[in-house]
């Protein structure tokens, strides 16, 4: 405030509202709960010190100002339940509202550990890459008292269906382990254009993630890519289209979309890996066939072990109404 002395009283009154409001600075002693245990100290500090630059967080860690149980630790230390963390005085920026409107989605399951929703197509799961906010930000805005709410996995913006969120860190860790070990069973409904022949077909093509020139995240089949495996089952034919169930054996980014595209079958409405000319045709009605303006990919079933009870859980999300209507407008063949 001393810098204001060189201004007149009126000038000082004009400048005063522009100056940052000082945040109280004091040492905090925080006891780590069961749900906070298991995370690295740097990630814990980044979460609780909103608005503090990363560089400053790592600086106080290196300086030894952060203590756990009165001892020095490095940034890789993993917190344990009951640890007492000394957080030094840091200037925290005033909380900036995310701007995300609170929203709720169709709930398939909710208990003290999990929240499972049926995500509509066209909604991102989180903000970023030109998207101001997504499902997670909207749910947090609508549940301001929720102590913990994190995405267990992701769905593409244009994919609808089952999305798992954890309400406890222990549930998040448990479900991540299940997915990493391949014990979860995730299945999707997908409509492709083309003469699909096999009633059951395995596609094993290695996938490589890269960033296109325009900054967009993309995936392609590449020999040195990550091993990827999808099993497709034919459910029914609809004229030149086939409705398939896709069973993920691995969980790579855009796996279903790239496996089908590389095999010569475009997903109806896929604007990244699909048939762009076909998509333009589908956006306009033609005779009995109605217009279709989304990607036909829907996460319709998941089976996992409940992180608290240890019992198997199978959840299903019905096919979206717009997909049902589109199928009904197509010439249907007998069920496969």
Tokens 């014990």 identify what position?
Answer: 183
β-pairing, 185-193 with 200-204?
A: unpaired
Distance, in Å, from the CA atom of 130 to the CA atom of 76, rounded to the nearest integer, reads: 32
The answer to whether 294 and 123 have CB atoms below 8 angstroms apart is: no
Catalytic residue chosen out of the listed positions 83, 118, 156, 275:
156
Distance, in Å, from the CA atom of 150 to the CA atom of 158, rounded to the nearest integer, reads: 20
The answer to whether the Cα torsion of 333, 334, 335, 336 is positive or negative is negative
The residues, ordered by sequence, that sit 6+ positions from 60 with a Cβ below 8 Å of its Cβ are 66, 88, 90
Please name which of 146, 72, 68 lies closest in space to residue 112, comparing C-alpha atoms. Answer: 146
The answer to whether 164 and 153 have CB atoms below 8 angstroms apart is: yes
Active site residue 156: yes
Distance, in Å, from the CA atom of 299 to the CA atom of 193, rounded to the nearest integer, reads: 19
Residues known to be catalytic: 156
């Amino acid at each position: 405030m001393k810098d204001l002395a060189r201004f007149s009283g009126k000038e000082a009154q004009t400048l005063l509202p522009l100056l940052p409001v000082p945040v109280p600075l004091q040492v905090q002693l925080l006891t780590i709960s069961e749900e906070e245990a298991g995370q690295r100290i740097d990630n814990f500090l980044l979460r609780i010190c909103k608005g503090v630059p990363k560089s400053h967080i790592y600086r106080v860690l290196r300086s030894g100002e952060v203590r756990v149980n009165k001892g020095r630790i490095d940034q890789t230390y993993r917190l344990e339940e009951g640890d007492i963390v000394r957080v030094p005085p840091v200037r925290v920026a005033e909380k900036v509202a995310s701007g995300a409107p609170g929203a709720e989605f169709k709930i398939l399951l909710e208990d003290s550990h999990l929240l499972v929703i049926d995500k509509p197509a066209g909604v991102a799961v989180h903000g970023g890459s030109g998207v101001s906010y997504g499902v997670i930000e909207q749910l947090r805005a609508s549940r301001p008292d929720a102590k913990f709410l994190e995405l267990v996995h992701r769905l593409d913006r244009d994919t609808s269906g089952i999305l798992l969120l954890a309400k406890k860190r222990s549930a998040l860790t448990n479900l991540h382990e299940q997915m990493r070990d391949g014990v979860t069973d995730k299945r999707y409904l997908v409509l492709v254009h083309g003469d699909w022949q096999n009633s059951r077909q395995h596609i094993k093509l290695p996938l490589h993630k890269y960033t296109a020139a325009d900054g967009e995240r993309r995936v392609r089949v590449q020999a040195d890519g990550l091993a990827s495996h999808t099993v497709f089952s034919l459910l029914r034919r609809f004229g030149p289209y086939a409705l398939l169930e896709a069973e993920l054996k691995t969980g790579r980014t855009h796996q279903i979309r790239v496996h089908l595209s590389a095999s010569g079958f475009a997903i109806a409405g896929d604007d990244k890996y699909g048939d762009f000319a076909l998509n333009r045709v589908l956006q306009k009605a033609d005779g009995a066939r109605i217009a279709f303006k989304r990607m036909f990919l829907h996460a319709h079933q998941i089976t996992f072990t409940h992180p608290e009870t240890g019992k198997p859980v199978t959840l299903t999300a019905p096919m979206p109404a717009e997909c049902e209507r589109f199928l009904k407008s197509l010439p249907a063949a007998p069920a496969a």
